[in-house]
Structures are given as C-alpha cells and as structure tokens.
Amino acid sequence: MKSNLRYSLQITVALLVLFLLLLMSVRYGSNQTSAGTVFNAIFHYDPKDIDQRIIVSIRIPRVLGAMLIGAALAVSGALMQSVTKNPMADSGLLGINAGAAFMLTLCFTFFPKMSTLNTTAFSVIGAGISAGLVFLISSLKKSQMSPTILVLAGMAISAFFTAISEGVAVVANLKQDLAFWHFGGISAVSWAQLTRLGPWIIIALIVVYFMSSNLNLLSLSDDSIKSLGKNILSIRLLALVCVVILSGISVSLVGAVAFVGLIIPHIAKFLVGTDNKKVIPMTVLLGADLTVLADLIARTIDPPRETPFGIIISLVGVPFFIYLARRDGNQI
C-alpha cells in the first residue's frame, strides 16, 4: 500500500515536471516571447501576429515531437532490455539506427536535394529493412528467438550497416553533415510529420502498456514461461514490432539519439522497482521529460545556434544516471 502511494506521488511529480517543461519550451527559444503571447497563441490564435505564428507553427509541433520521441525511445529501450535480458540493450540493437543512417547516407550522397519528408520515409524503410534482417537471422534458429542470438545478430547487422554508411561517407566526403544527424536534432519536426507519424507512436505506447504484465514474464527462463502456458515467441515478437515502430519513427525524425533508450528505463527501475506495470508509465514520462528538457537547453544555451541535443541528453542524463546507480540499496 505504501509503495502504491509512493508510486502515485512519483508519477504526479513526473507529470508536473513534464507540464512545466512543455510550457517553458513553448515560451523560450531563440525568439523571446512573453507568457501572454503564448496564452493568446493557444487560446485566441491570431495568424497575423508573427510571434504567435512562430509558436503555433514551429514551437508547438517541435515540443510535442520531442515529448513523443522521448517517450518512444525510452519505452523501446525498456522493451529491448526485457526481450534480450541484457541491461545494455537498446533499440540500436535491432539495427534500427544503423539502417536508418544507411538509407540517409545514400539519400545525402545520391539525391542531395531530397525533401525532409522524403528522407524521413527512406530512413523508416532503412530501419525496417535492418530490423527485418535481425528478425530473420534470429528466427532461423530453432530456439525461438533466444535473447543471445538476438543480441549477437543485432550487433552484427548494425555494425555492418554503420560501417557501410561510414565507408560511403568517407568516399563521398559528407562526414560532417551526418555527424549532426548522429547526435540528433529536433528542429525539423513539423505538423505534417507529427500528424502522420504521431498516432503510430501513441498506438504503440498503448499496446506496450497493455502487455506490460507479459513483459514481466520475459525475465523468467524460457521453460518457466512455457509451463505457465504462455507463448514466448508471440510475446517477444509483439514487443519487437513495437520497438520497430516506436524507435524506427523516432530515429528517422530526430537522428540516432543514444542514451534515452539505455538510461531512462534504468532510472525508472531505480525509482519504482522492477514491475513493468509501473516501469513502463514511468519510462514514458521520464523519457518525455528528459527529451523536452534537452531540447529546451539545446536551443536556448547558445542562440540562435542549436547544439546537437543528443549531446545535451548525455550531459544531463549521464550524471543523474550514475548518481542513481551508485545510490545505496539498488541491485545493479
């Protein structure tokens, strides 16, 4: 009972923080606006006012995008860690980042004038291809997508695609263009992208929430799961499909942002324990918190230039992570 109270308190705090961060993100940026303008832009929108236009057409989609992407990346990290039983896993293991980067490199090299919406489509395809390859390899074995095979196949496939993109980038001389992508930037998220891709993320997040008790089972050995009458393969497969949707879309929108997926699930577990029914909602909120915060810092620290926000994420997230990991009483 006491732990339930503590949990509701933690969730409330995380929600409040998210709400505050969202408001601040909408208000602050390279173009200073007053709180009144923000209020008007939301409730009495006047398209003639340029400040309000900036808020509605640029900042709000960007902030909402950051929120969704943070939640998506963090949850897909949590899923990967459950499925592979490896605390170091994140969605990068399915080759998603590498596949997307590969397609993007090809786009930059051969069609440098392609629009952002099209490159996004291509990187979703790239993410899908490499995730499909990883699935294929691990299902060729009889052992029902065993965690080890998945980890190893994922490592090999992502290293392969990363190497090819690096090779192409060296030959075509576009290293510095890609470097920004690799460290992430949210600037490009528009309403068009948000309305097209956002619903997928939300649906996948809901699916993950409803399968969270099944995720708890994945920490058991394969034999014990079977003896409970559950089908491991279908749980794993559903979880992985969610990972592909969640992080495939996020990565294609903002680049290969490391760490959200790795760190946030651990932070959530330090706070609420190991029950996935609690871990998943906490992961969603913390992921959104961290990404929105990092995006806010990234565009206010050195305006009008943007610092790649993947860097901010690790500068903010890593010390906090290490603090929690070292705190007394936790089990890693």
Partner 1 sequence: MTKKIKLTTWLLVLVILIVVSAIINLNTGEMSIKPNESMNLLMGQGTYTQSMVIFDFRMPRIAITILVGFALAIAGNVLQSTTQNPMADTSFLGINSGAGIAVMLFIALVKNQDANLFLLPTMALIGALISTVIVFAFSYKKETGITANRMLLTGVALSGLYSSIMVLLTIKLSPQNYQFVMNWLAGSIWGTSWEFILMLLPWFVICLIFIFSKMRVLDTFNLGDEVAQSLGVNLKRERIILIAAAVILAGVSVSISGGIGFIGLITPNLARRVIGFKHSHQLILSGALGSFLLLLADTVGKMISTTTEIPVGVLVAIIGAPYFVYILIKSNK
CB of 66 to partner 1, least distance (A): 18
Count of positions on this chain that bind partner 1 (CB under 8 A): 47
Choosing from 141, 219, 233, 301, the residue that interacts with partner 1 (CB under 8 A) is 141
Query: What are the φ and ψ backbone dihedral angles of 188, each rounded to 5 degrees?
Result: -85, -5
Choosing from 13, 20, 206, 322, the residue that interacts with partner 1 (CB under 8 A) is 322
Choosing from 1, 48, 171, 229, the residue that interacts with partner 1 (CB under 8 A) is 171
CB of 233 to partner 1, least distance (A): 18
Tokens of 177: 């263009």
Query: Which residue has tokens 């603090």?
Result: 323
* 183 is an interface residue for partner 1 by CB under 8 A: yes
CB of 94 to partner 1, least distance (A): 13
Residue 299 CB partners (closer than 8 Å, separation 6+): 29, 30, 187, 306, 307
Region of 44-52, 63-71, 227-235, 261-269 interacting with partner 1 (CB under 8 A): 261-269
Please spell the DSSP secondary structure of 41-71, one letter per residue.
Answer: HHHS--TT-HHHHHIIIIIHHHHHHHHHHHH
Region of 116-124, 218-226, 242-250, 313-321 interacting with partner 1 (CB under 8 A): 313-321
Region of 37-45, 117-125, 271-279, 310-318 interacting with partner 1 (CB under 8 A): 310-318
* 303 is an interface residue for partner 1 by CB under 8 A: no
Residues 75-94 that bind partner 1 (CB under 8 A): 86-89
* 175 is an interface residue for partner 1 by CB under 8 A: yes
CB nearer to partner 1: pick between 190 and 300: 300
Alpha carbons 156 and 287: distance in angstroms, whole number? 27
CB of 329 to partner 1, least distance (A): 10
CB of 48 to partner 1, least distance (A): 38
Tokens of 39: 């209020």
Choosing from 18, 79, 239, 258, the residue that interacts with partner 1 (CB under 8 A) is 258
Residue 237 CB partners (closer than 8 Å, separation 6+): 145
Residues 127, 251 contacting (CB under 8 angstroms): yes
Residues 228, 214 contacting (CB under 8 angstroms): no
* 156 is an interface residue for partner 1 by CB under 8 A: yes
Alpha carbons 220 and 306: distance in angstroms, whole number? 45
* 274 is an interface residue for partner 1 by CB under 8 A: no
Alpha carbons 118 and 102: distance in angstroms, whole number? 15
* 35 is an interface residue for partner 1 by CB under 8 A: no
Alpha carbons 231 and 177: distance in angstroms, whole number? 45
Choosing from 74, 101, 262, 293, the residue that interacts with partner 1 (CB under 8 A) is 262
Identify the helix (H) or strand (E) that includes residue 326.
helix 309-326
Residues 15, 8 contacting (CB under 8 angstroms): no
Choosing from 259, 265, 270, 286, the residue that interacts with partner 1 (CB under 8 A) is 259
For the chain, the 3-state helix, strand and coil shares in percent, each to the nearest 5, are 80, 0, 20
R_g of the chain computed on alpha carbons: 20
Binding site for partner 1 (CB under 8 A): 86-89, 137, 140-141, 148-149, 151-153, 155-157, 159-160, 162-164, 166-167, 170-171, 175-176, 179, 183, 258-259, 262-263, 266, 307-308, 310-311, 314-315, 317-319, 321-322, 325-326, 332
